Every structure is written in C-alpha cells, then in structure tokens.
Amino acid sequence: MFKNEKVSLFKVITFSAFYLQGVKWIKEKYGENLVIVRPGQRGYLDSIERAISSGDVVLIEQIEEELDPVLDPVLGRNTIKKGRAIKLGDKEVS
C-alpha cells in the first residue's frame, strides 16, 4: 500500500468514526422524538412533511452522493416569504 493510499484510508476511517459517533449522539439526545428516514424508503417524503409540520427533529440516514432535489429547500432552509412555510416537492409545509 502506498503512503497516499494509507492517508486516504485513514481519513475515511476517521470520518466514519466521527459520523457514527454523531449519529449515536443524535439518537440518544432526541430518543423517541426523533424521526428517522432513509431516501427511497416508502413514504419518506410524507414522514419528513409530517415531522416539519409538527416540529419534530428528522435524521436522514444512508444518504448517497446525490440527494433527491425535492429536499433542497429543506436542507437550505429556504422558507417562503408569506410565512414560515417551506416547499417540499409541490407542497408548502409549515
């Protein structure tokens, strides 16, 4: 294994450890009040919509390199001017 490969592997392992530690902390902090969804899971957008409407915390797990563009307004916190709504797909969720 070359030196650069060792460094890259170390970075991946370190990132993975921090990621898993962060997920564990979030799950412990919010417990049963946490809504956990995975892209591609049946009804995941509906689950996110309900969580936003009720003010629940959402954890999106198993994210790939590219995310469904419908989530862009949520991730960017792009609220709609006429209130505290956010656009999720073709719906305005508040």
Q: What's the structural domain count of the chain?
A: 1
SS3 per-residue string spanning 51-83:
HHHHCCEEEECCCCCCCCHHHHHHHCCCECCCC
Express each pLDDT in 61-70 by its tens digit. 887 777 788 8
Its domain, for residue 55, covers 3-93
CATH of the domain at 57: 3.40.50.300
CB 40 within 8 A of CB 47: no
Task: Give the amino acid at 30.
Answer: Y
pLDDT of residue 78: 63
% of the chain residues with pLDDT over 70: 67
HSE of 21 in the Cβ direction (CA atoms, 13 Å)? 6
Q: Is the pLDDT confidence value at 93 over 60?
A: yes
Q: Is the pLDDT confidence value at 12 over 60?
A: no
% of the chain residues with pLDDT over 90: 1
